């Protein structure tokens, strides 16, 4: 697909028409992968010799943590497109993704704390990865609040784009914190391009299916919520036009 064809989706009408066609399939695939990954992981995988049954939490924790970081990176790309090309759909897509990313971050933090209590003996530690994830969560809250606080859509898109650029440092830090600092409780990545570093195959394959489910769920939610933001923006524009007579 040439870049010019891609920009056609910056047209709100075209975006809604196209996403209306593909959304049912994405919802369906998301449900299939999520159910398959979680059922496989929960019911049909053994206990880990060190972690016992708590290993089953990785099917939620790892995909949620991945999506928490990648949602912010998606918002970064959409924000950059807004800054450079002034396409409203991209700014609205970033706005639409923020609550989804925030919930993913919350799931990662909550499941991490629940897992940490029996494994580390504490719900929380000021470990580099945990702390950077907490800061990322606060950035999500700030980003959402900033959109809500500013009435003018373009000004809100400009300011939130700048906030997104700043927050990207913490999104990347969340991803690589365990590599930068050796101290801290959090173990290394569960998934890696280096197969030696991955979790054992028996956990790895259901984890991949669960990750696919989370990615598809994220895509479905962001497309749906972007449609909603486009309609809300049109409502505001029509209402303003009506007020002006």
- Residue numbers of the site for other proteins (CB under 8 A)? 38, 42-43, 47, 52-54, 56-57, 60-61, 64, 99-100, 103, 106-107, 110-111, 114-115, 117-118, 217, 221, 224-225, 227-228, 231-232, 234-235, 238-239, 242
Q: CA-to-CA distance for 185 and 129, rounded, in angstroms?
A: 9
Task: Write down the least CB distance from residue 229 to other proteins, Å.
Answer: 9
**201-243 helix and 12-43 helix, angle to the nearest 10 degrees:** 150
**Closer residue to other proteins, CB minimum distance, 56 or 175:** 56
Q: Can you count the helices (H) and strands (E) in the chain?
A: 7, 0
Task: Write down the least CB distance from residue 43 to other proteins, Å.
Answer: 6
Q: CA-to-CA distance for 95 and 114, rounded, in angstroms?
A: 30
The CB-side HSE value for 199 (13 A sphere, CA atoms) comes to 23
Instruction: Give, as one character, the DSSP assignment of residue 48.
Output: B
Task: Write down the least CB distance from residue 191 to other proteins, Å.
Answer: 18
**128-149 helix and 88-120 helix, angle to the nearest 10 degrees:** 150
Task: Write down the least CB distance from residue 166 to other proteins, Å.
Answer: 25
Task: Write down the least CB distance from residue 128 to other proteins, Å.
Answer: 22
**Closer residue to other proteins, CB minimum distance, 18 or 172:** 18
Q: CA-to-CA distance for 201 and 195, rounded, in angstroms?
A: 10
**Closer residue to other proteins, CB minimum distance, 80 or 233:** 233
Whole-angstrom CA distances from 213 to 41, 124, 170, 216, 225 are: 13, 28, 25, 5, 18
Task: Write down the least CB distance from residue 169 to other proteins, Å.
Answer: 26
Task: Write down the least CB distance from residue 7 to other proteins, Å.
Answer: 24
Cα angle 181-186-188, degrees, rounded to a multiple of 5:
75
**Closer residue to other proteins, CB minimum distance, 173 or 220:** 220
Q: CA-to-CA distance for 52 and 79, rounded, in angstroms?
A: 43
Q: If DSSP codes are grouped into helix, strand and coil, which group holds residue 212?
A: helix
């Amino acid at each position: 697909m040439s870049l010019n064809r891609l920009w056609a989706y910056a047209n709100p009408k075209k975006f809604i028409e196209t996403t209306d066609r593909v959304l049912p399939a994405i919802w369906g695939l998301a449900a299939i992968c999520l159910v398959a990954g979680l059922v496989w992981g929960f019911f049909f995988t053994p206990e880990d010799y060190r972690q016992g049954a708590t290993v089953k939490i990785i099917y939620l924790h790892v995909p949620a943590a991945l999506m928490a970081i990648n949602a912010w990176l998606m918002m970064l790309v959409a924000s950059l497109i807004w800054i450079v090309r002034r396409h409203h759909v991209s700014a609205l897509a970033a706005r639409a993704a923020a609550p989804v990313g925030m919930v993913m971050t919350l799931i990662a933090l909550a499941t991490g704390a629940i897992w940490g209590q029996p494994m580390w003996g504490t719900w929380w530690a000021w470990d580099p990865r945990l702390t950077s994830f907490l800061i990322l969560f606060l950035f999500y809250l700030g980003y959402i609040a900033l959109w809500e606080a500013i009435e003018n859509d373009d000004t809100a898109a400009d300011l939130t784009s700048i906030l997104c650029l700043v927050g990207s440092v913490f999104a990347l830090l969340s991803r690589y914190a365990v590599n930068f600092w050796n101290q801290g409780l959090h173990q290394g990545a569960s998934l890696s391009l280096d197969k030696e570093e991955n979790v054992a195959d028996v956990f790895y394959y259901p984890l991949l299916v669960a990750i696919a489910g989370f990615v598809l769920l994220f895509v479905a939610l962001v497309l749906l919520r972007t449609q909603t933001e486009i309609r809300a923006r049109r409502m505001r524009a029509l209402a303003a036009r009506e007020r002006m007579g």
